[in-house]
Amino acid sequence: MFEIDWNILLPSLVVAGLVLVVLCVDIIRPDNKGGVSGYLSLLGVGVAIWVSLSLWGRSPTHGLGGMLFLDNYALFFNLIILAGTGLTIFVSTGFLEREEGGRSEYYLLILAATLGMMLMAAGADLIVIFLGIELMSIALYILVGFFRRRTDSNEGSMKYLLLGAFATGFLLYGIALVYGSTGTTNLREIELAVAQGRVYTHPMLLGGVALLIVGFAFKVSAVPFHMWAPDVYQGAPTAITGFMSAGPKAAAFAAFFRVMVASLGDLSGDWSGAIWMLAALTMTVGNLGALSQRNIKRMLAYSSVAHAGYVLVALVAANERGIAGGVFYLLAYAFMNIGAFAVIVALGRKGDENLEISGYAGVGFRHPGIGLAMTLFMVSLAGLPPTAGFFGKFQIFSAAVEAGYIWLTVIGVLNSLVSVYFYLGVVVSMYMRQPVGQAHAVSMTPFARVALLTASLGTLYIGLAPTSLLQMARQTVSALL
């Protein structure tokens, strides 16, 4: 038997307990339509954030039979994931009421997905990372299809499931080959085996790494494995789309970075070329795809593909500054993207979600607050100062230059310039186009206002005073390098 170090388990245990509590509340009060569970979930997410913060800065350990890590890296990702979850719950309360889809299972599934993501960030063994991915994915398949009477929701869910399960097959085959060639699935032991040359067959290990990259590339929606993203983002309930683009993406990158840099870092000469291609393609296809979109959810889907490309640049660089920059960028991205989706939710009405970008004409005058917030998020996504997006991108690109990847940086910067066009297109539509038709009242619940305000302040704060958060991001790096 082994001793259980409860500290390692604590953050995930809080969320797992929360899942069970919400489940019990659903059973006791089935008529609450998710009201009580929503508040409870928020409370629990707050507790989990507090627990993660209180564990910050301890010397890194691992436990539970070498299955979980407790280090700053995992804790920082816990913060990103939990912030995304918390904001999504804030956005969801009014959204569910409006769409009359309020059922208490909604929050339970969001929390289960959150637990899966936290395990992906903290997993010290490929089996835990695999189970985390599956827990997150299964919960997300269901959430995407949550509005089961809407065909686009159903079909998005089906497409996501088929492609997600397909990707899981590749990921598993990759794990199998890595296991076969190193004799272990434990990340630290893989690292040792590679470092000491205790590898059965080198070609097979490389085959396994290639398949792992394919599997992870699916999960972070990197080109050419991105084809699910636009349809699924469009079909999913809007609040869930925001959720999916922040937490799950961050968690997939957390596992991706840890596996590639910490365990397979010695092979970086073999894989960094592949990631280079992946990053360049992802940025370019994502931004070019977004240019031609009229539907704002599809536009943001392609934008999220493009942003995955920027973070992949950080993985190519794989130096201290790059990893810190990537981690920091994922935090900034969570705030600005969920903020943008909160605006989309706020501007929709029951039965008419108002998703065409042209439908945003005149919003800037009719609803000055919302217009201002949306402008902030778009500017940040485009990567213009003084916002979070600018600072994050600056970190990543300067790391790439530092590591000598000049061409990749040039591609990235050119892509950022292209992206300014379509992000500011939304702003232009809001402020400079004559609105068609009548103005509609926008009713935001207090919760949605809090979400919008938090996301805006977060985006501004990360952009204007990044030092302390960047310091935290730097402290995570030692877990990998």
**253-312 binders of another protein (CB under 8 A):** 289, 292-293
Taking the complex as a whole, the smallest distance from the CB of residue 425 to another protein amounts, in Å, to 17
What is the distance of C-alpha 44 from the center of its chain? 20
- Using CB under 8 A, pick the residue from 46, 183, 273, 404 that binds another protein: 183
Looking at the Cβ atoms of 180 and 369, the one nearer to another protein is 180
Looking at the Cβ atoms of 53 and 162, the one nearer to another protein is 162
Residue 329 interacts with another protein (CB under 8 A)? Answer: no
Residue 173 interacts with another protein (CB under 8 A)? Answer: yes
Pair of tokens at residue 217 = 């590339």
Residue 159 interacts with another protein (CB under 8 A)? Answer: yes
| Angle 96-97-102 from CA coordinates, rounded to 5° | 55
- Using CB under 8 A, pick the residue from 17, 35, 180, 369 that binds another protein: 180
Amino acid occupying residue 386: P
- Using CB under 8 A, pick the residue from 161, 217, 244, 469 that binds another protein: 161
- Using CB under 8 A, pick the residue from 14, 70, 128, 308 that binds another protein: 128
Angle of the 238-257 helix axis to the 72-99 helix axis, nearest 10: 170
What is the distance of C-alpha 170 from the center of its chain? 21
Taking the complex as a whole, the smallest distance from the CB of residue 442 to another protein amounts, in Å, to 27
Residue 65 interacts with another protein (CB under 8 A)? Answer: yes
Site for another protein in 105-124 (CB under 8 A): 105, 108-109, 112, 115, 119
DSSP for 416-458, written as a single string: HHHHHHHHHHHHHHHHHSPPPS--------HHHHHHHHHHHHH
Distance CA 314, CA 394 (A): 11
Binding pattern to another protein, positions 344-383, x when CB under 8 A?
Answer: ----------------------------------------
* Pick from 240, 223, 197: nearest CA to 275: 223
- Using CB under 8 A, pick the residue from 37, 93, 114, 185 that binds another protein: 185
460 CB neighbour count, 10 Å cutoff: 16
| Angle 95-118-163 from CA coordinates, rounded to 5° | 70
Report which DSSP code applies to 481.
-
Site for another protein in 203-232 (CB under 8 A): 203-204, 206-207, 210, 227, 230-231
Site for another protein in 25-64 (CB under 8 A): 64
Q: Which stretch binds another protein (CB under 8 A): 167-175, 273-281, 366-374, 465-473?
A: 167-175
* Pick from 269, 268, 66: nearest CA to 187: 66
Looking at the Cβ atoms of 57 and 169, the one nearer to another protein is 169
Q: Which stretch binds another protein (CB under 8 A): 125-133, 331-339, 415-423, 430-438?
A: 125-133
Looking at the Cβ atoms of 168 and 445, the one nearer to another protein is 168
Residue 233 interacts with another protein (CB under 8 A)? Answer: no
Residue 10 interacts with another protein (CB under 8 A)? Answer: no
In which residue are the tokens 């699924």 written? 232
Does residue 349 sit in helix, strand or coil? strand
Distance CA 79, CA 118 (A): 9
Taking the complex as a whole, the smallest distance from the CB of residue 93 to another protein amounts, in Å, to 18
- Using CB under 8 A, pick the residue from 69, 73, 76, 146 that binds another protein: 146
Residue 426 interacts with another protein (CB under 8 A)? Answer: no
Taking the complex as a whole, the smallest distance from the CB of residue 97 to another protein amounts, in Å, to 17
Burial code of 56-85, b = ≥16 C-beta within 10 A, e = fewer? Answer: eeeeeebbbebbbbbbbbbbbbbbbbbbbb
- Using CB under 8 A, pick the residue from 39, 166, 394, 461 that binds another protein: 166
Residue 333 interacts with another protein (CB under 8 A)? Answer: no
- Using CB under 8 A, pick the residue from 32, 184, 268, 398 that binds another protein: 184
Taking the complex as a whole, the smallest distance from the CB of residue 430 to another protein amounts, in Å, to 24
Residue 103 interacts with another protein (CB under 8 A)? Answer: yes
Q: Terminal CA-to-CA distance of the chain, rounded, Å?
A: 31
Does residue 69 sit in helix, strand or coil? strand
Report which DSSP code applies to 318.
-
10 CB neighbour count, 10 Å cutoff: 15
Residue 188 interacts with another protein (CB under 8 A)? Answer: no
| Residue 76 near residue 93 (C-beta atoms within 8 A) | no
